[in-house]
Structure 1
Amino acid sequence: MLNGVSASKVFLPADKDHLIQTVFEHLCKHFSHIFEQEWQQRFDDGLVYDATGKTLRIDSPYQPNTHIFYYRFLAQETHVPFQHQILFENEHLLIVDKPHFLTMSPTGQYVQETLLVRLKKQTGIEELSPIHRLDRETAGIVLFSKKAEVRHAYQALFAKRQVQKTYHAIAAYNPELYFPQTLNLCIEKGQPFYTMQINPCGEPNSETLIECLEHNKTWAKYQLKPHTGKQHQLRVHLNYLGIPIQNDPFYPTVQRKKQDDFSAPLQLLAKRIEFTDPLNHQNIGIESAFDLSLSYQSNDK
């Protein structure tokens, strides 16, 4: 682990035609979406190694049927000016409060500015891994396993729906809607590909209990208890009711925002999580220190 980032592992397959002479050539060909100059910089910075830990150079020969390792860093990365907080820790588990705008794990244009890398740097635990995920836009409670061998035990809780998750959201108030109500809908991939949509003719595959906690005749604070875990489920369900979550960049329409625009956080919070620890049988109930307020005024209002 280097500065909170774990090494990525790449297998070098047999090259029957002997067309590849160096590791550098293979990486440029295999990861064609990454500029050649970026690979060259990684070699120059000593971020590529063989299986013995030896630093590889740009002219290091290609050795088929071996593994090499490299570290991924970005030359420029937008800083996310919000902090996480560890709320609970035991031998196997971390429960963390994630702020808005912080991506869970390295992907695309974020490496250092991700919750996983920040936590690895803070704790020094290289095997740290998220058990479930929150969208970049969503704040609140998320679980991490500290050891690879126990990860499956916690993931099984989610697969068996033995985790009670409670969310809060700020969305428009509609006096014609009555709560509490439970939505059972069919959610499927939409367009653009990173959004979801309702198929009114499909078999229901998502379920959410929705309650209205309070309102000021314009906005309302809703409590959401999902029984399933479809992508964007809560955002899609409230949008279906005609009350999309305040500042949602995807629903009802996709809005393009700059990566460094932190002015209007999505008003969705994973407020509480409850479960029985499968390893020590402890009943755990943790609540986020973050909160959503009806007094919040959006720049997009």
Structure 2
Amino acid sequence: MTKKWQYELIVPHEYNNKSIREYLSRYLLIPKHLIFNLRTEQRVLVNQKYLPMNFPIKTNDKISLTFFESDFSKQIILTNSKIKIDVLYEDDDLIIVNKPRGIKTHHNQPNENTTLINYVADYLKPKQPYMIHRLDQETSGAIIFAKNPVVVPILVEMIKQKSIKRNYTAWIKGHLKDSYGTIHEAIGFHPSDQRKRQINGSKAKNAITHYQLIKSSKTNDLVQISLETGRTHQIRVHFAYLDHPLLSDPLYNPETKSNDKMLLHSSSISLTTPFYHHELFINSPIPNEFK
């Protein structure tokens, strides 16, 4: 049986007299290729009737959308029941889980099955999880997975538009000069180590990190961090650039010993849910080693 996903929605007042196309693309963030499918196969209905895409809709009109498995490319994620995931939030479209430190977010080889997405796949089976964003292997905390392919491009676009807010907590070496600030330095590839990134490396992209001091110990600072961009190793590279690398960072802190644990935690995620626009603010408890 072909899988399908259906959504029954109500037009909000701010889209009164807007076109169906504008509602789908700007309010729901549905990409053009899916809007094309909905239009050509008449799978978008207004009050149970198909209408042209430029037709104006009214407040409280009922919008019905149907997506089929054939709209999307298939994927197969192997399952692994070794680790039971810690679910922070779940609905029909997405799941937010608490990633343990020390495991990878996703597999790099086809037969690899010891990553977070494999454990999430076991929890969701027979449904499949879909990647939305990543956390480094040594980073713990809240991370989003989609539970169906329909919301994947929507969530990815929300990250691009910075409407999904991600906050982190980290211990850094030494004491900051200012209790809050912004690091705005482009990040690119390291010239000799493919694992690493560096400020103004090759193919550098704009990167912006905000931080605020939470508390200090005798030798180090605990900071809260929010990201405007999502570059690989962004937090780690930016604080190393300030000469305040993360404690026990195996790549960017030369004082790190082999058994040390890097102290970076994805402490909260806020977003509005796809299609229904419910506001979420999800906290991930701070691990004991941060206290």
TM-score, normalization: structure 1?
0.64
TM-superposed CA distance for 1:199, in Å, is 2.1
Q: Secondary structure at the match of 1:149?
A: coil
Q: Which amino acid aligns with 1:275?
A: L
Q: Which amino acid aligns with 1:92?
A: D
Aligned equivalent of 1:189 = 189
TM-superposed CA distance for 1:220, in Å, is 1.4
CA contact (8 A) 1:104 1:115 kept: yes
CA contact (8 A) 1:83 1:98 kept: no
Aligned equivalent of 1:142 = 143
TM-superposed CA distance for 1:126, in Å, is 3.8
Sequence identity percentage: 24
Which ranges of structure 2 fall in alignment gaps of 5 or more residues?
1-74
CA contact (8 A) 1:214 1:221 kept: yes
Within 2, Cα distance between the matches of 1:114 and 1:143?
Answer: 15
Q: Which amino acid aligns with 1:274?
A: S
- 2:213 paired with 1:212: yes
- 2:260 paired with 1:264: yes
Alignment RMSD (CA, Å): 3.1
Aligned equivalent of 1:96 = 97
TM-superposed CA distance for 1:157, in Å, is 0.5
Q: Secondary structure at the match of 1:188?
A: strand
Aligned equivalent of 1:86 = 87
CA contact (8 A) 1:105 1:116 kept: yes
Number of aligned residue pairs: give it. 216
TM-superposed CA distance for 1:171, in Å, is 1.2
Note closer, same or farther for the CA distance 1:100–1:116 as it changes in structure 2 (3 Å cut): same
Aligned equivalent of 1:286 = 282
Within 1, Cα distance between the matches of 2:111 and 2:140?
Answer: 17
- 2:177 paired with 1:171: no
CA contact (8 A) 2:188 2:205 kept: no
TM-score, normalization: structure 2?
0.66
Q: How does 1:214-253 map to 2 (within 5 A)?
A: 214-253=215-254
Q: Which amino acid aligns with 2:172?
A: A
Q: Which amino acid aligns with 2:215?
A: E
Structure 1 segments, 4+ long, off by >3 Å, are 69-73, 81-84, 200-204, 252-257, 292-295
Which ranges of structure 1 fall in alignment gaps of 5 or more residues?
1-68, 74-78, 258-262, 296-301
Within 2, Cα distance between the matches of 1:70 and 1:222?
Answer: 39
CA contact (8 A) 2:188 2:201 kept: no
Q: Secondary structure at the match of 1:156?
A: helix
- Spell out, residue by residue over 1:61-101, the C-alpha distance to the aligned partner (whole angstroms, 9 max, x if none): xxxxxxxx99989xxxxx9x975301111010100000001
